[in-house]
Amino acid sequence: MSRDQHALVVEPWCLRETRLDLDNLARMESLFAVSNGHIGLRGNLDEGEPSGVPGTYLNGVHERRPLPYAEAGYGFPEDGQTIVNVADGKLLRVLVDDEPLDVRYGELHQHERTLDFKTGVLSREVEWSSPAYKRVRIRTWRMVSLTQRAIAAFCMEIEPVDDEARVVVQSGLVANEDVPVTTDDPRVAAALQAPLEHEMSGTHGAFASMVHHTRVSGQRIASAMDHESKSPNKVSMESKANEEWARTTISTRLKAGETLRVVKYVAYGWSHQRSAPALRDQVAAALTAARDTGWEGLLAEQQEYLADFWDRADVVVTGDPEMQQAVRFALFHVLQSAARAERRSVPAKGLTGPGYDGHCFWDSETFVLPVLSHTVPDAAADVLRWRHSTLDVARERAQQLGLAGAAFPWRTIDGAECSGYWPAGTAAFHINADIAHAVVHYIHSTGDLAFEREVGLELLVETARLWRSLGSHDRHGRFRIDGVTGPDEYSAIADNNVFTNLMAAKNMRAAAEASARHHRQATDLGVDAEEAASWRDAAGAMLIPYDEELGVHQQSEGFTDLAIWDFEGTEPEHRPLFLHYPYFDIYRKQVLKQADLVLAIQMCGDAFSAEQKRRDFEYYEALTMRDSSLSSCTQAVVAAEVGHLGLAYDYASEAAFMDLRDIARNTGDGLHMASLAGAWIALVQGFGGLRDDGDMRFAPALPEGLDGLSFGLLREQVRLQVEVTPTSASYTTSGGGLTIYHYGEQVDLVDGETAQRGIDKSPKLDRPRQPVGCEPQQRDEMASGMASLVDD
């Protein structure tokens, strides 16, 4: 842990930075990002400089780039996709008697930023003296509206402290900003070099707008801004624009103690098809609505939206203030990643940075959507509608690969596969089952049969068709799925990966059951009784490799016969392995990048006995490097289930603090949305013991160090509140009754009443071992380390 982290104050409802660290700008810009799933603004300073990675993103806006190969191969994706930094509307430059505000010059007396989880507002307080010794106090507020999808809004107040000063604010929209390239791939650098081509721009009074398009992907983007100002003295205002920038300049003279207030509204929109004038008018209309609402009205709408969200979704942790802050930080950013995405994906880094080129992966459906389904179900449905909108592309990909149904991409922005490394990309077919699982989980959570009929059924059918064509029955009658890559990317092109096979079986059963429920729609999709029966047969005959001698499941067929990786001979600086060792060497050893079979236990628990879960978990603990941020929350959930509560707490902490502590050392290019969702998963599924495969089942247990845990869930419009103490659990519903299961006991909940049950005592187990150097930091050591930094 670096010493800069005591600049972040532990508070339950906000993230507060008490001093500015110029060497740590990129990470803080990610942590302080604001978004609504459509617009994303990195936490860059209002004045624009200095910055780590400037970033303003629109969900889905990207540029295409070629994916050249040293040797061509059939079915290799031809194009990559890279998220584009669109016109930056965050800029509010300040000049004090002609001296520009720049924290690197003059003297910075105070600097504090706060991201408030209840208001959804990023605020900043600065006191600065110019090189000419003019001292000013500046307060700013920034928000991306959760109620008005196209709008971001800003408020700035400037006050001279000691002397009269001429104050000028230059509000900007700037296209094609210089952005540092965070990858060594020259194709990415080329795609990001001035990606926006000008079409039109214009100004009128305090209003300015611009329209651009991307050169290759052909996406048209409109941006516009408007302003209000208030000062005790005369204010002059003018706007100008050219091909790459629009600027509104606001000027006034202030005495000491007087304040200039500037409110800025910014609107964004984009389309593949709409004309430039249509998009220009669209954002102008959005600005009109925002101005009619006003700054105070937007704040009130934002606060009301978030109050409702926290009322149903809050997680309360008693006994660990850092964890309390971390899980609310996580929930807030997961909400921001998807609230108004509206038929777009949830990228792996959300809209907080350019990491992973802005792509979404399987972790969206596997980690983020379970949280959204229980807290913001409409957002989960919209992400799945986006997947449904890409079905034609997925069908074409399946045909290209000689398969039936649909083959969804390993990584993408617009639905087309853009992974240039096929063993970890194309071969990771489990993405199909992950999407199907998210469909089923959403329907279980909401009871939304209209969605199942109109969207979910087709997704289930086409993914099931892929499995039936990808796998085959062997001479023993077992159904095999050979030559695939499971969640663990250190074990590629394997036969009968347990996670893949179990999830595929669930996928096929779900498709058959949904086809029976919606017979007419299934018939329209070409499903007949014979096809549905073939899915059930394949699912029932699925091969699940098991090592009888060791008494554990094999992650994939033959895995436990492989040589074990030389963990003791692996230097700490040689992690992650894939950056220091050839893949062919990694692939033929027992070593895991992330939990794989353990994830199967979490998501397909009914396929394992309690004893198998414990033995499997302990066996694979010794092999898992955790070179992926996706691993910790899964290990936390299963560790808690099998009785390793202390270890589960350590892993839950790692998931929760992945970005707040920059554990993976790449938070600067964006937050890890799956790990943020994993903080919720580790607490709610781990210590709350939630499993939801149709029935809501709970087996709660708290580790030492947590005095209590409570959380809210949505189930078919009924709000369920769960409160866990070391000795008991209570369940309360509002909005209707609900049936749940507590340690297998059926509990019929009556609206407004509370049912309380005791908690089974966890067994005392020896702590399993991890690979040398891969042990999670124990929670008490992590907490005491943080305390010592604060004391210093």
Residues acting as catalytic residues: 489
* For residue 576, cis peptide bond before it (omega within 30 degrees of 0): yes
**Quick one: tokens of 786?**
């943080």
Cα–Cα distance for residue pair 586/449, rounded to 1 Å: 45
In this structure, how many other beta carbons lie within 10 angstroms of the beta carbon of residue 76?
A: 17
| Pairing mode of beta strands 718-724, 708-715 | antiparallel
**Quick one: tokens of 34?**
């604001």
Instruction: State the greatest distance between any 2 C-alpha atoms of the chain, in Å, as a whole number.
Output: 90
User: What is the separation of C-alpha 525 from the centre of its chain, rounded to a whole number of angstroms?
Assistant: 33
Q: Give 566-602 as a DSSP string.
A: -STTS-GGG-SGGGTS-HHHHHTEE-BSS-SHHHHHH
**Quick one: tokens of 2?**
């670096």
Q: At what angle do helices 457-470 and 529-540 cross, to 10 degrees?
A: 60
Task: Judge whether 731 and 749 are in contact, CB under 8 Å.
Answer: yes
Cα–Cα distance for residue pair 655/329, rounded to 1 Å: 12
Q: At what angle do helices 457-470 and 377-389 cross, to 10 degrees?
A: 50
- DSSP letter at 364 equals I
**Quick one: tokens of 257?**
């103690």
Q: What is the dihedral of CA 611, 617, 618, 622, to 10 degrees?
A: 160
Give the residue among 344, 486, 508 at the shortest CA–CA distance from 423.
Answer: 486
Q: Letter for the amino acid at 403?
A: L
Cα–Cα distance for residue pair 661/588, rounded to 1 Å: 33
What distances in angstroms separate CA 346 from CA 29, 237, 334, 414, one per listed residue?
19, 39, 9, 12
Tell me the CA end-to-end span of the chain in Å, nearest whole number: 14
What distances in angstroms separate CA 690 from CA 151, 654, 677, one per listed residue?
37, 20, 15
Instruction: Identify the bridge partners of residue 8 per DSSP, sorted by sequence position.
Output: 17
Q: Which residue has the tokens 């000691």?
A: 162
Instruction: Identify the bridge partners of residue 225 per DSSP, sorted by sequence position.
Output: 208, 266
Edge-to-edge order in the sheet of strand 745-749: 691-692, 696-698, 738-742, 745-749
| Pairing mode of beta strands 754-758, 728-734 | antiparallel
